[in-house]
Structure 1
Amino acid sequence: MQTNFSPERLEADRLVRQANDILRTCVHCGFCTATCPTYVLLGDELDSPRGRIYLLKDMLENDKPASPKVVKHIDRCLTCLSCMTTCPSGVDYMHLVEQGRVHIEKTYKRPPMDRLVRRILGTVIPHTNRFRWAMLGGWLARPVARFIPGRLGAMAGMARRRPALRSSIDRAQVIPAQGQTRMRIALMRNCVQPALDPEIDAATVRLLTRHGCEIVIAEGQGCCGAAVQHMGEEEPAKAMARANVRAWTAAGVDRVVVNVSGCGTTVKDYGHLLADEPEWAEDARAIADKAVDVSEILAALGLMEPTTPHARIVAYHAACSLQHGQQIKTQPKDLLEAAGYRVVLPRDAHLCCGSAGTYSITQPELARQLRTRKVETLHALKADVIASGNIGCLNHLAAEANLPLVHTVQLLDWATGGPRPPALKP
């Protein structure tokens, strides 16, 4: 793609050079349209990666304020990154759309309701205790929640059960390995998971300590920053990244293990996010290099022989942030099969379920349509349980799925000596 950024802007601004390089990589082939969930759903070229690239090019190249048209179609992007898996030219769509969202946030004044919803999301989601109380309010209001329209109703709908008001990893601590210590790791504490399903973290701790990992819940760690970053709030996202880099660097760990794939994609990109801050860049790159999904670390350690094989058919839902964002495709399935489960995959497994972080709240109707499509493909497998590696997907799918939903680590923990996941009845 030909670009026309001025030489002065290219010389002065690294992000302008980045946008220029990314745009020039695109060859207009359109392969991305076939795997883009919003294009498949809506059939609008501007709701495809290629169409959005044209919109971003015009906006960034001419350094002009975002228009309502641009905002509409960029907001509809799930950031599922399926396009990056498909693209034969290696277009770095992730960083281009992130740059576009920052530009939108700086140059476009949203309608009052949009501003209110985004302010609530940015204020509540990155803070576990605030999120807990918000979910408790939503749970108490569940008799009338279905009558609340639009995005506020979608927020209330997240509270599908009473939230947990405490979890086993709420405080900084070191949890010793069982037997010989093979590795010292930091376990990232996600913002919403301790409230929505603290058993996922408990299962992760049991599973990793059983495999010889000493686990550090580092003092000072917090939200990965994804929730605000995806809304174009660059500075809050950077502040959260700095706090985590500081905490995990001080902890002196071999790996940073993440059991929420959306967070993992973000943490692995800290080196890029903080690249322009000399005092942070080196440590950020080091932490990004240490970051691994829990399935990666288990595959590297080698899953112990299952002590309690379970003849369950598992429908594996690959979270976009795992299969596209981190390019982790085989490890979760291989681990489940090694643990004795029969794993089945839905058709169109590459398409997003519609959760996508805050997307299910900011774009509730599109998210609902994508969820319905995904649930239909999962039900067609006639499995006993649905497993995934992302709490956002699990909570989103629960609204329509008539099957138990569990995190992959819960099934692995059960097979290697842990308790039965609460979602699975005897």
Structure 2
Amino acid sequence: MQTWIDAALKDTPQGQEADRILRTCTHCGFCLATCPTYQLLGNELDSPRGRIYLMKQVLEGKTATATTQLHLDRCLTCRACETTCPSGVEYGKLVDIGRELVEEQVKRDSGGFMRWALRTVLPRRALFSALLRTGQFVRPLVPGALRGKIPPRRQPKPWPEKTHQRQVLMLEGCVQPAMEPTINPTTARLLDEIGISVIRTPSSVCCGAISQHLGHPDEAREQIRRNIDAWWPHIEAGVEAIVVNASGCGVQVKDYGHILREDKAYAEKAATVSKLTVDPVELLLNEEDNLTPAAGVPRKIAFQSPCTLQHGQKLGGRVEGLLTRLGFELTPVADAHLCCGSAGTYSVLQPTLSKQLRTNKLNNLQSGRPDLIATANIGCLTHLNEASEVPVRHWLELLAGKGAAST
């Protein structure tokens, strides 16, 4: 694709990256077949190819409009188009650039307050937790549409206290500790049982994905720097990995090196963090002989592979293969490549499209009559649980270790 990047942008890192990405696009249209919003709406502008044209116009100096903003807002950033694209177009990076530029040019109406509120509340772990606890306390009085967004309170499990020679860091996340307080300690206990200690870093914050995808990368970069500062002493001490058990956060942390590539003070550290970051399945594939199904968990399950796991981190099939080898029966899931509609803040900002996608996904997940649906991301888990006929849990909650390895 030929480009003529606007003079004000062409020599900036942002403009140069956009130019490089645009030039890889060949207009082939393969992406339309796997784009969830195009499948629902049938509008070329709600496809990756159509959105690329819209962003190209803005990058070449045309003023963005509310229409441009609308079609970018409808994008899930699921990145299924990247998996399909024969030319390797890095659509996810391009749409972040496009959203930032459009956000600067187009004034939002009242919907802008909700986006600000999400960027303000969700990344602040203590604030979000306090608000959620209040919502859970008065949940019976909350209107039905909103009540579904408030999960029943679950009691957290204790964290392990042993110290092993093998040590890892773990991003605990901003909403996960309050929404599903069993996931992080369960992850730590599983690792403890195979001889790996999790070092907790209370000063770490949101991974930055919320602000990044809502068109405010400066906020995201500040959160990234805070995480690097929290982790760096332990990295220097020799931790072997940074485990991120929410795949949406994992794909963001793996991109820290790219996001801070122009930051002289943090570029090298960010690149190191990216190299150390792993999804739990990447770590556990090497520990398969030390794993077993946890007591009492269903064996007939459907696995919902989050877009951030299969398209973002390119780890599709890894969890499914591990669970199958450990004795679980995985039911077939049609259109497993399509998004469930959660997509971070998307289920709040685009509720109609989000619910349509969730209905389609649950129909496919439940068609094999599983006893449980497993997934790898907090957003997908809570979104699906709102309407699922069977429980939805994090796949790590299905596993146990056969006993701690020697230290």
TMscore range, shorter length: over 0.9
Q: Cα deviations across residues 115-152 of structure 1 (Å, max 9, x unaligned)?
A: 2111211111011221122223333454454466xxxx
Equivalent in the alignment of 1:302: 288
SS at match of 1:111: coil
Q: Measure, in 2, the Cα distance between the counterparts of 1:394 and 1:311.
A: 17
Measured after TM superposition, the shift of residue 342 of structure 1 is: 1.0
Comparing 327-336 with 83-92, greater Cα deviation is found at 327-336
**Superposed counterparts of 1:16-415, under 5 Å:** 16-62=15-61, 64-112=62-110, 114-143=111-140, 145-146=142-143, 153=146, 157-162=148-153, 175-177=161-163, 181=165, 183-252=166-235, 253-306=239-292, 312-413=299-400
Matched position secondary structure for 2:198 = strand
1:327-353: CA deviations, max 9, x gaps? 011221122123221122310000000
Letter of the structure 1 residue corresponding to residue 77 of structure 2: T
Q: Deviations 1:128-185 (Å, cap 9, x if unpaired)?
A: 221122223333454454466xxxx4xx532021366x7757xxxx9535xx63x321
Residues 352 and 311 (structure 1 numbering): CA distance in 2 closer, same or farther, change over 3 Å?
closer
Q: Specify whether residues 134 and 307 from structure 1 end up closer, same or farther in structure 2 by C-alpha distance, changes over 3 A only.
A: closer
Which structure has more relative contact order (CA 8 Å, sep 6+)? It is 2
Q: Check conservation: 2:162, 2:192, Cα contact below 8 A.
A: yes
Query: Contact 2:294 / 2:399 at 8 angstroms: preserved in 1?
Result: no
What TM-score do the two structures reach when normalised by structure 1? Answer: 0.89
Report the 3-state secondary structure (helix = DSSP H, G, I; strand = E; otherwise coil) of the residue aligned with 2:292.
coil
Which residue identity is paired with 1:407? H
User: 1:98 and 1:167, CA in 2 relative to 1: closer, same or farther beyond 3 A?
Assistant: farther
For 1:117 and 1:416, how far apart are their aligned partners in 2?
Answer: 46
Output one character per residue of 1:73-130: Cα deviation in whole Å (capped at 9) or x when no partner: 0000000000000000000101100001111222221002x12111211111011221
Q: Write out per-residue CA displacement over residues 379-414 of structure 1, whole angstroms, 9 at most, x where no aligned residue.
A: 10111110000111010001111101111100013x
Aligned to 1:2: 2
**How far apart in 2 are the matches of 1:168 and 1:226?**
28
Q: Which amino acid aligns with 1:115?
A: G
Secondary structure at 2:150 match in 1: coil
Residues 218 and 86 (structure 1), Cα distance of their counterparts in 2 relative to 1, 3 Å cut:
same
Equivalent-residue separation in structure 2 for 1:396 and 1:277 (angstroms): 36
1:240-282 Cα shifts (integer Å, max 9, x gaps): 0001111112112221000000000000000111111111000
TM-aligned CA deviation for residue 305 of structure 1: 4.7
> C-alpha displacement at 1:308, in angstroms?
5.9
With over 3 angstroms needed to count, the CA separation of the structure-2 counterparts of 1:77 and 1:9, relative to structure 1, is closer
Aligned residues: 400
- Deviation string for 1:352-390 (max 9, x for gaps)? 000000000010111011001101111101111100001
> Secondary structure in 1 aligned to 2:368?
coil
| RMSD of aligned Cα (Å) | 2.1
* Post-superposition offset of 1:304: 1.1
Q: SS of the counterpart of 2:344? A: coil
Tell me the SS of whatever aligns to 1:185.
Answer: strand
Listed as ranges, the gaps of 5+ residues in structure 2 are none
Kept in 1, the 8 Å contact 2:26–2:87? The answer is yes
Measure, in 2, the Cα distance between the counterparts of 1:35 and 1:17. 28
1:99–1:417 CA distance, 2 compared to 1 (3 A): same
Instruction: Out of 341-350 and 285-294, give the one that drifted further.
Output: 341-350
Q: Distance between the aligned counterparts of 1:123 and 1:147, measured in 2?
A: 25
Q: 1:146 to 1:308 in 2, by over 3 A?
A: closer
Identity of aligned residues (%): 42
Would the alpha carbon gap of residues 308 and 105 (structure 1) be closer, same or farther in structure 2, given more than 3 Å must change? closer
Distance 1:144 1:65, change over 3 A: farther
Query: Aligned residue for 1:423?
Result: none
Contact 1:307 1:416 in 2 (8 A): no
| 1:424 alignment partner in structure 2 | none
C-alpha displacement at 1:197, in angstroms?
1.1
Structure 2 letter corresponding to 1:105: E
Q: CA deviation at 1:8?
A: 7.1
TM-score (norm 2): 0.93
Distance 2:72 2:95 in 1: 8
The residue type equivalent to 1:317 in the other structure is Q
Is 1:303–1:335's contact at 8 Å kept on the other side of the alignment? Answer: no
Q: Kindly state the Cα deviation for residue 291 of structure 1 after the two structures are TM-superposed.
A: 0.4
Q: Residue 307 and residue 411 in structure 1: after superposition, are their counterparts in 2 closer, same or farther (change >3 A)?
A: closer
Gaps of 5+ in 1: 419-426
Whether the 8 Å CA contact 1:145–1:157 is kept in 2: the answer is no
> 2: CA distance between counterparts of 1:6 and 1:67?
17
The Cα shift of 1:232 comes to 0.7
